[in-house]
């Protein structure tokens, strides 16, 4: 054993604090001797065996060292786990080698493991030099080289590879010194090659990583650029939005003015059209005339030309009918007067009478048909006359109203045309300039002549109506949107606008409503009433009548006018409520 080798051993031994090391060494040597002798046979002299024993110890170390060198270089952390697996499978022989390796790593700290390996390799070279000429072991060396290379390269792959390494290591015990030396020479070249390859691949990897980093940096730069572009765009859009909002704010009064001007223009046109239609219809259907009787001037209705003509035509038909009836009577009388005539004469006369009678009958039937048609026409005219009278009243009320000059109430509601006038209120069609929808503005006017008590009572009623009505949200109940004061004697409630007629007008226009239509109207009203009675605070309407059922543009029926309604108190019990309020409901 060379000095280096001894030194190496001693250094290894000194690193070990384990006192049982000499015993282990002895065991190891004994094992090696056993293995070598079994491999080389028992013919060799004990000296040669000893020499071989000494020489064979070195390759095992160097082999293990080279393995540990590779493992250390590859991954130091993995070395400990590899050693563990060696411990499990390799017994004491391998434990020794790995313990050394581990201690070397721990003891040397940053000191490269290669030094240890090189020292071991040098020692081996010195030992194996005289044995070099053994040509017969060439094949084995190759195998060894491959085996080692394999075990080295697969070291990092797991414990199975370690097992292989151990097997290879065990097999390397048997070859001669020349084989070992050659194997080391052979080993060092692939290692260099390996390291060169490793380095090249690492360099390539570094280069590719650098390229990736550069690409990522470029991406980042682009992203930053994009972010800043977007931020700029955002700022620009925010500015634009602000400008638009400012402009919108600036334009709002102008826009409101423009909308209300347009609405006023349309309403004015509608007013004109309504008045023109009234004039035309009144020519046809009639007008209100003034009759002076002494000092008393009273208003009376004068039928229009169409009604006059119809009535005249009906009178004519009546006269014609009477004339025919008279002729018929005379015919029958003549026939009874000529009762003593001969048979032949009498039969001819009878036949004439019968024919004449048939003519009269047929004339009467045609008069009746004509009369019926004229009567239907007159009914239609009467309906139109009723509408005309209502429209005339509305126009008169509109003309007499102090709200007929297209005011904008509460800076929001543009008053348009009068829809109708109730007992104490005027209802105007309006336009909500904020929500942009048509509404009905009900203007409650307190009579200036009323006593203070009466005014207060009226206001209480109106406020109660508002408080009840504002909580009602149902498809068949007219919505109440708003309430506000106009002046000391007037306030306004803003209601959902119903563009259709009220049920009263419908029933007047169609005296015999088809059952199907009547049923669907009733169903809708009942749905509204059921809603009023299913709430926590039940409500009695108290003024349900056709005039308080309105239709929207789609024909949906809605209950309105909660001015007389009452909330059913909880403590009423089964007795019901007494109708105490004076004038509750509508008299008729």
Ligand X SMILES: Nc1ncnc2c1ncn2[C@@H]1O[C@H](COP(=O)(O)OP(=O)(O)OP(=O)(O)O)[C@@H](O)[C@H]1O
Binding-site size, ligand X (CB under 6 A) = 20
CB-based contacts of 85-92 (< 8 A; 24+ apart in sequence):
85/159, 85/162, 85/163, 86/162, 86/166, 88/159, 89/159, 89/162, 89/163, 89/166, 90/166, 92/24, 92/27, 92/28, 92/31
* Shortest distance in whole angstroms from residue 588 CB to ligand X: 11
Residue 112 interacts with ligand X (CB under 6 A): yes or no: no
Phi, psi (rounded to 5 degrees) for 490: -140, 140
Rank residues 360 and 497 by Cβ distance to ligand X and give the closer one: 497
How far from the centroid of its chain's Cα atoms is residue 175's Cα? Answer: 82
Per the CB < 8 A criterion, the answer to whether 416 and 430 are in contact is yes
Could you say which of 304, 560, 562, 565 contacts ligand X (CB under 6 A)? Answer: 560
If binding is defined by CB under 6 A, does position 446 make contact with ligand X? no
Q: Report the chain's terminal Cα–Cα distance, integer Å.
A: 138
Choose between 181 and 561: whose C-beta lies nearer to ligand X: 561
- Beta carbon nearer to ligand X, 57 or 425: 425
Residue 497 sits in the site that holds ligand X (CB under 6 A): yes
DSSP string, 259-314: HHHHHHHHHHHHHHHHHHHHHHHHHHHEEEEEEEETTEEEEEEEE-HHHHHHHHHH
SS3 334: helix
Nearer to ligand X, 100 or 495 (CB): 495
- CA 268 to the chain's CA centroid: 44
Query: 501 labelled as ligand-binding?
Result: no
Binding residue (CB under 6 A) for ligand X from 22, 107, 130, 422: 422
Q: Which is nearer to ligand X, 9 or 531 (CB)?
A: 531
- Looking at the annotation, which residues are catalytic? 543
**How near is the Cβ of 563 to ligand X at its closest, in Å?**
6
Q: What is the x/- site pattern for ligand X, positions 456-495, by CB under 6 A? A: ----------------------x----------------x
- 423 lies in the site for ligand X, by CB under 6 A: yes
Per-residue contact string for residues 527-556; x = within reach of ligand X by CB under 6 A: --------------------xx-x------
- Which one of 427, 483, 525, 540 is in contact with ligand X (CB under 6 A)? 427
Neighbours of 340 (CB within 10 A): 6
Contact between 498 and 478 (Cβ < 8 Å) = yes
Which one of 105-113, 156-164, 328-336, 422-430 is the stretch in contact with ligand X (CB under 6 A)?
Answer: 422-430
When binding is defined by CB under 6 A, the residue of 502, 503, 532, 549 that contacts ligand X is: 502
Strand, helix or coil at 424? coil
284 with 263: CB under 8 angstroms?
A: no
Shortest CB 550 distance to ligand X, Å: 5
Q: Where in 49-108 is the site for ligand X (CB under 6 A)?
A: none
Shortest distance, CB of residue 505 to ligand X, whole angstroms?
8
**Distance between CA atoms of 466 and 561, rounded to whole angstroms?**
10
- Identify which of 487, 477, 480, 445 has the alpha carbon closest to the alpha carbon of residue 464: 480
The closest alpha carbon to 430, from 350, 379, 528, 499, belongs to: 499
Determine, following the binding rule CB under 6 A, whether residue 561 of this chain makes contact with ligand X. yes
Q: How far is the CB of 416 from ligand X (least distance, A)?
A: 12
- The whole-angstrom separation of Cα 330 and Cα 360 is 11
What is the closest distance, in whole angstroms, from the C-beta atom of residue 439 to ligand X in the complex?
8
Reported as half-sphere exposure (CB side, CA atoms, 13 A), residue 19 has a value of 0
Give the nearer residue to ligand X in terms of CB position, either 222 or 437. 437
| Closer by beta carbon to ligand X, 91 or else 547 | 547
Which residue stretch of 161-169, 322-330, 405-413, 414-422 sits at the interface with ligand X (rule: CB under 6 A)? 414-422
Q: Which of 28, 32, 381, 440 binds ligand X (CB under 6 A)?
A: 440
The reply on whether position 441 binds ligand X by CB under 6 A is no
Instruction: Give the shortest CB-406-to-ligand X separation in angstroms.
Output: 18
417 in contact with ligand X (CB under 6 A): no
Tally of CA atoms within 13 A in the half-sphere of 343 that contains its CB? 0
Distances (CA, A) of 426 to 346, 362, 395, 397, 459: 79, 56, 12, 9, 16
498 binds ligand X (CB under 6 A): yes
**Look-up of token digits 């226009």:** 509
CB-facing half-sphere around the CA of 101: CA atoms within 13 A = 32
d(CA 551, CA 547): 11
192: how many CB neighbours lie within 10 A of its CB?
10
Residue whose CB is less far from ligand X, 32 or 440: 440
Task: List residues binding ligand X (CB under 6 A).
Answer: 419-423, 425, 427, 440, 442, 478, 495-498, 502, 547-548, 550, 560-561
Annotated binding site: 442
Annotated binding site for ATP: 442
């Amino acid at each position: 054993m060379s000095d280096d080798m001894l030194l190496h051993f001693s250094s290894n031994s000194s690193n070990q604090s384990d006192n049982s090391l000499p015993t282990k060494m002895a065991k190891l040597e004994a094992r090696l001797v056993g293995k070598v002798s079994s491999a080389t046979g028992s013919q060799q002299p004990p000296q040669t065996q000893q020499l071989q024993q000494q020489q064979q110890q070195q390759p095992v170390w160097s082999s293990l060292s080279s393995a540990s060198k590779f493992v250390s270089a590859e991954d130091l952390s993995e070395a400990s786990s590899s050693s563990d697996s060696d411990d499990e499978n390799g017994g004491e022989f391998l434990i020794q080698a790995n313990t050394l390796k581990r201690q070397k790593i721990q003891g040397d700290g940053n000191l490269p493991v290669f030094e240890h390996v090189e020292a071991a390799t040098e020692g081996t070279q010195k030992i194996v030099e005289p044995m070099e000429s053994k040509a017969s072991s060439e094949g084995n060396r190759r195998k060894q080289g491959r085996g080692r290379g394999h075990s080295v390269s697969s070291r990092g792959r797991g414990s199975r590879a370690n097992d292989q390494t151990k097997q290879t290591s065990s097999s390397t015990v048997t070859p001669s010194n020349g084989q070992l030396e050659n194997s080391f020479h052979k080993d060092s070249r692939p290692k260099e090659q390996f390291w060169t390859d490793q380095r090249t691949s690492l360099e390539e990897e570094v280069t590719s990583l650098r390229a990736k980093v550069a690409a990522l940096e470029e991406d980042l730069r682009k992203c930053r650029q994009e972010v800043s572009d977007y931020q700029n765009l955002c700022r620009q859009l925010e500015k634009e939005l602000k400008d638009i909002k400012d402009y919108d704010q600036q334009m709002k009064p102008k826009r409101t003015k423009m909308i209300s001007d347009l609405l006023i223009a349309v309403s004015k046109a509608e007013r004109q059209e309504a008045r023109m239609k009234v004039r035309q219809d009144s020519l046809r259907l009639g007008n209100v005339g003034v009759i002076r009787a002494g000092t008393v001037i009273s208003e009376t209705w004068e039928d229009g030309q169409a009604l006059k003509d119809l009535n005249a035509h009906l009178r004519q038909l009546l006269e014609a009918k009477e004339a025919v009836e008279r002729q018929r009577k005379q015919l029958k009388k003549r026939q009874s007067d000529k009762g003593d005539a001969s048979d032949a004469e009498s039969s001819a006369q009878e036949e004439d009478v019968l024919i004449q009678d048939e003519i009269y009958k047929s004339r009467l039937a045609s008069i009746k048909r004509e009369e019926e048609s004229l009567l239907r026409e007159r009914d239609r005219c009467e309906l139109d006359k009723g509408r005309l009278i209502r429209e005339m009243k509305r126009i008169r009320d509109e003309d007499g109203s102090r709200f007929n000059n297209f005011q904008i109430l509460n800076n929001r509601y543009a008053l348009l045309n009068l829809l109708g006038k109730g007992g104490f209120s005027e209802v105007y069609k309006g336009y909500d300039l904020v929500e942009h929808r048509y509404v009905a503005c009900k203007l409650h006017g307190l009579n200036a002549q009323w006593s203070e008590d009466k005014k207060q009572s009226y206001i209480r009623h109106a406020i109660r109506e508002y408080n009840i009505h504002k909580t009602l949200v149902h498809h068949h109940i007219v919505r109440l949107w708003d309430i506000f004061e106009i002046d000391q004697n007037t306030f306004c409630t803003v209601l959902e606008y119903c563009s259709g007629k009220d049920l009263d007008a419908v029933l007047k226009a169609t005296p015999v409503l088809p059952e199907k239509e009547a049923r669907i109207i009733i169903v809708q009203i009942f749905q509204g009433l059921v809603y009023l009675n299913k709430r926590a605070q039940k409500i009695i309407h108290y003024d349900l009548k056709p005039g308080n059922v309105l239709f929207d543009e789609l024909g949906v029926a809605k209950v309105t006018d909660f001015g007389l309604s009452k909330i059913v108190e909880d403590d009423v019990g089964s007795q019901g409520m007494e109708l105490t309020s004076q004038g509750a409901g509508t008299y008729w």
